[in-house]
Structure 1
Amino acid sequence: MMVNDKHLPVTSGVHQVSVMSLSGPLDDDSCVQLMRKLRNGHGSRTERRGQPLILDMAEVPLIPPSLHRTLQRVIEQADTPVLVIAAPPRVRRALERSEITGIRQYRTLAEALTALSAPDLNSQTGAPPAFEQEEPEVLREQMLHIQTKATTSGMIGVAQGILLTRYGLPRPSIAHDLLEETSQHFNVPLRVLASAVITAPPPRSIDQWFFGHTTRPAPPTAAFLRGHRAKPSHRRQVLTAAISKAVTAADADAAELHLKDAAQDGALILEQHHGLDAAYRARAALIVGPPAVCARVQRQLEPVTVPDIATDAALPTHPVGRALLEAGTRAVHGLPLITPDGHCTGTLTVHRCQPGTWLSGFQQHTLGVLATEIASWNSWYHRTIIRDALEYLHRHRTHRPGTR
């Protein structure tokens, strides 16, 4: 369907490798797009030489012959192998039959990164090893980050497929450009817009996506928005103000804010944080169930306190719990974001480095009010800004060059 631009630099010392996640059935236009992104993202031809490239093809069901030519040009220009990871059997066999000089296939990113530090991989090209053995923690954090990005890439690919079919667009790149243009116009993250495209009911008419969308509800009058001068329509400002208020109100060492994503079966997505290290953020980026505290809160629909992570029944042996302990968190308190009509739209969690129950009654009340205000804002945001973005996308789908 498309090439998702997930060009993530992974560095070790003076060496660097680029990782790109591809998704959907690729076509000739996608291969041109891929080559253009590689040229723009890798610097000059001289800078690209010796810099390995890893292509994550876990979500690519098939590839055209033009991709073989594209990969061969990449290998020749970079003078280093291209490492393909997680390719489905059909794609893996196609690459094997292509006999492209310089293609290496691996099951996982970890295997590919390990291979890059082995001299025999680079002996054919003369390129130096890309990774040093003494930096496993850096690689672990990058791998977790890339895995999180891959999940997002798949959802964006699904949204593009919907637009491609619904509007009869001639090329996948047009669907990508339409999403990207709408995202930038309304300052809505591409992932959030993609989720809305996937979960919203189909447009009601040629001219309008939603009926009765002319009456816009007023934005919520939340105290935390006034205190930080955050514009209700500016998503990042609102989430930053919310997390700042939570840390102050709870006298917390760290905090995290998850919002529910209907496109991912109600999974909790880490939207904002304060004081959390990269390893924990990667683990908490997408939560689908307990024992994570935010998932317990979502399931119980009431506040949950864990006075000591280390003595909890399930967390110490779970990756999320271990990441919490490694980050220095010992106690957490989470509460649901429930709208006035009773829907849980996410969770708010505060952290302390010392074990024990620390929140006073007043602090718990203040956090409860904050959680309600965040939920009200989130509901308003989806009923106004997100709907405006979908209406814009729907109106402009016929104004794209090359569309019918």
Structure 2
Amino acid sequence: MRLGWRWCLGHRHVARGFAARCGPLCLCGARRCPSVSDQTRARIHPPSVPPAQQEASPDAAAPSPLELRNRQLARASVDSAQVILMDRYRLRSPEDAFTLLRSASQHFNIKLHTVAELVARIAGPDIQDGLWFPRRPRTAAPALPGLGVARDGQQSHSAVLKAGLHRVLHITDTGMGNVQLVGNGMLRLEKHTGLNREFTDFFAFVHDAGTACAQAARQRQQVTVKNVESADVFDEDSRHAILQAGSRAAHSLPLIGRAGQVLGIISSHHEKTLRGFSQTQLTALAATGAAVGRWLHWHRQTVVLDALEHLHAQATGTNGKGPDRPQ
């Protein structure tokens, strides 16, 4: 059965392009983590119980293949990070590893999966060192002109993404849109408004080159789709998911980091077909993409690494001093 999984950044196509532009990490130039023991991995992933032996509630509806895919992808980075942390710090259980991840996530007000992805992608510190990144430079958060982010929210990941989405929808004069961020070679849906459940489930994790966001990410430039129904850029599954949500046109804006890498996409969706946008609108959109991209780069190099420092200090019992957590 065809499941309609032609998501934006294809595992074979665009993900390789990202690796070529961003490097294997998009962060610090660090090496990938070494492999961990099979014993430790088995403690996270015990042998599965055959379906015939599993107890199921008679009232529970079976999850769809799409739901199963989303659950698996949502858990993948967390499971990998638990394995690594158990092996690195000789933790007794996966729960201990999860506690470290959750503490770092909550203390610095960032998504747990963000912490997990970086644990899985960055080479670990010397266990004897008090700091994971002892010589990294520190800079203030970059300005966010035109986004209207309150001063106390300028270090908040959620506040900045919300403001960026609001700004794009204001410029493009629509009430539907979404934000996707790059992680693990795909785009992950982070924020959305005005879009229904079928749309958000379908595009929760974007993996294949069948939509405008893939083209915008690949080309690192804005892409306007004036008519979703007839545009060649969409595969049929993606086209259906967009049309059923009431979108007849779309615009995708890449969020470009300081080094020129694509860190995410903000897309607007429109109830009617488009003639296009004026140069004034396109210029304002480009400025928004650049501002949010610079901020995301700063956040990954500063707040996210602070969270990893916090995790390392807790795991080793050191007094590695980190900055105050963002509000």
Q: Same fold (TM over 0.5)?
A: yes
Q: How far does residue 224 in structure 1 lie from its aligned partner after superposition?
A: 3.8
Aligned residue in 1 for 2:155: 233
Q: Is the contact made by 2:149 and 2:160 (CA closer than 8 Å) also made in structure 1?
A: no
Residue 392 (str. 1) matches residue 310 (str. 2): yes
Q: Is the contact made by 2:210 and 2:235 (CA closer than 8 Å) also made in structure 1?
A: no
Aligned residue in 1 for 2:218: 299
Aligned residue in 2 for 1:221: 143
Q: 1:279 to 1:338 in 2, by over 3 A?
A: same
Distance in 1, Cα, partners of 2:228 & 2:235: 7
Q: Which structure features the higher share of strand residues?
A: 1
Distance in 2, Cα, partners of 1:148 & 1:221: 35
Aligned residue in 2 for 1:312: 231
Q: Name the SS of the counterpart of 1:346 in structure 2.
A: strand
Residue 211 (str. 1) matches residue 149 (str. 2): no
Aligned residue in 2 for 1:255: 177
Aligned residue in 1 for 2:186: 267
Distance in 2, Cα, partners of 1:341 & 1:147: 32
Aligned residue in 1 for 2:4: none
Q: Which structure features the higher share of helix residues?
A: 1
Q: How far does residue 276 in structure 1 lie from its aligned partner after superposition?
A: 1.3
Aligned residue in 2 for 1:66: none
Larger RCO: Structure 1 or Structure 2 (Cα < 8 Å, ≥ 6 residues apart)? 2
Q: How far does residue 230 in structure 1 lie from its aligned partner after superposition?
A: 6.0
Distance in 2, Cα, partners of 1:258 & 1:275: 15
Residue 337 (str. 1) matches residue 255 (str. 2): yes
Point out where structure 2 has 5 or more consecutive residues left out of the alignment: 1-40, 319-327
Residue 190 (str. 1) matches residue 101 (str. 2): no
Q: Name the SS of the counterpart of 1:191 in structure 2.
A: helix
Q: 1:341 to 1:398 in 2, by over 3 A?
A: closer
Q: Name the SS of the counterpart of 1:207 in structure 2.
A: coil
Distance in 2, Cα, partners of 1:229 & 1:144: 40
Letter in 1 for 2:156: H
Instruction: Count how many residue pairs are aligned between Structure 1 and Structure 2.
Output: 277
Structure 1 residue runs of 4 or more that deviate by more than 3 Å after TM superposition: 24-27, 142-147, 224-230
TM-score by length of 1: 0.63
Q: Is the contact made by 2:212 and 2:233 (CA closer than 8 Å) also made in structure 1?
A: no
Q: Is the contact made by 2:110 and 2:157 (CA closer than 8 Å) also made in structure 1?
A: yes
Q: Name the SS of the counterpart of 1:103 in structure 2.
A: coil
Identity of aligned residues (%): 28
Q: How far does residue 374 in structure 1 lie from its aligned partner after superposition?
A: 0.7
1:328 to 246, 249, 259: 246
Q: 1:316 to 1:158 in 2, by over 3 A?
A: closer
Q: 1:218 to 1:250 in 2, by over 3 A?
A: same
Q: Is the contact made by 2:222 and 2:253 (CA closer than 8 Å) also made in structure 1?
A: yes
TM-score by length of 2: 0.77
Aligned residue in 2 for 1:346: 264
Q: How far does residue 229 in structure 1 lie from its aligned partner after superposition?
A: 5.0
Q: Name the SS of the counterpart of 1:397 in structure 2.
A: helix
Q: 1:314 to 1:379 in 2, by over 3 A?
A: closer
